A and B are shown apart, each in its own frame.
Chain A
Amino acid sequence: SQQGEEDPQALSIQEGENATMNCSYKTSINNLQWYRQNSGRGLVHLILIRSNEREKHSGRLRVTLDTSKKSSSLLITASRAADTASYFCATDARNTPLVFGKGTRLSVIA
């Protein structure tokens, strides 16, 4: 079974609004990463947060990690139509491959 589970499965918002996606996982991790995938294409790495970090920012992205709840959230502020994509969380532990969730499909309506 997959490690990460994103919530919600789909999200539709207006341009300019903020989008929040959540990821829950089951076992201890070293790091958690977020990736974006535009329709039917490869994934692009967005941001990585280590297990000893609680929050990280990159441009309009803000990621939080709560290891006690085994959950993470990705916030995209001031969303744009170009942010329309699927977003995946991926977890890793030492010497194990990345395990991806099923993703959240974000639609940003202009």
Chain B
Amino acid sequence: KAGVTQTPRYLIKTRGQQVTLSCSPISGHRSVSWYQQTPGQGLQFLFEYFSETQRNKGNFPGRFSGRQFSNSRSEMNVSTLELGDSALYLCASSLPPAQPETQYFGPGTRLLVL
């Protein structure tokens, strides 16, 4: 099976712009989670989608949003970018409702905000 894919891999934006990141999960996986990784804060959970519904949400401002499509592909959007949004954004898919859930990560999108 193909792994989790994320596009684009690298992105440079300026403050105030918005950005959309895409994630295609492993075939058959219906849950997609997003994480933000920075040197200072480590890996922080953004949100999780399952069957097109947001199942969990982390402690991020409303500028961060996401959605999931009927084919389980997911997108996350960050509006009004700030310098602090520079990070590696990781997407992971899993196969709920099996417990425990192992997450399969994509390679990430590295976002630089100037």
Identify the A interface with B (CB < 8 A).
2, 30-31, 33, 35, 40-45, 48, 50, 88, 90, 92, 94, 96-103
How many A-B pairs have beta carbons closer than 8 Å: the answer is 58
Residue of A45, A50, A92, A98 with most chain B CB atoms under a 10 A cut-off: A98
Quick check: B102 and A33 within 8 Å, CB to CB? Answer: yes
Quick check: B58 and A42 within 8 Å, CB to CB? Answer: no
Listed by A's residue number, 23 A-B pairs whose Cβ atoms lie within 8 Å are A2-B42, A2-B44, A30-B99, A35-B105, A40-B88, A41-B107, A41-B108, A42-B4, A42-B92, A42-B108, A43-B103, A44-B105, A45-B104, A48-B100, A48-B102, A96-B56, A97-B48, A97-B56, A97-B58, A98-B101, A99-B45, A100-B42, A101-B42
Given A2-B44, A33-B102, 16 additional A-B pairs, CB 8 A: A30-B99, A33-B100, A42-B105, A42-B108, A43-B92, A45-B102, A45-B104, A50-B100, A92-B101, A94-B99, A97-B45, A97-B58, A98-B101, A102-B43, A103-B42, A103-B43
B58 proximity list for chain A (CB < 8 A): 97
The number of chain B residues with a CB under 8 A from chain A is 24
B108 proximity list for chain A (CB < 8 A): 40-42
* Interface SS of chain B: strand
A90 to B43: give the CA distance in the assembly, Å.
10
Quick check: A102 and B42 within 8 Å, CB to CB? Answer: yes
Which chain B residue shows the least CB distance to A41? B107
Residue of B33, B48, B100, B108 with most chain A CB atoms under a 10 A cut-off: B100
Instruction: Out of A2, A30, A101, name the residue touching B100 (CB < 8 Å).
Output: A30
A48 to chain B, nearest CB (A): 6
Q: For residues 34 through 58 of chain B, which have their beta carbon under 8 Å from a beta carbon of chain A?
A: 35, 42-45, 48, 56, 58
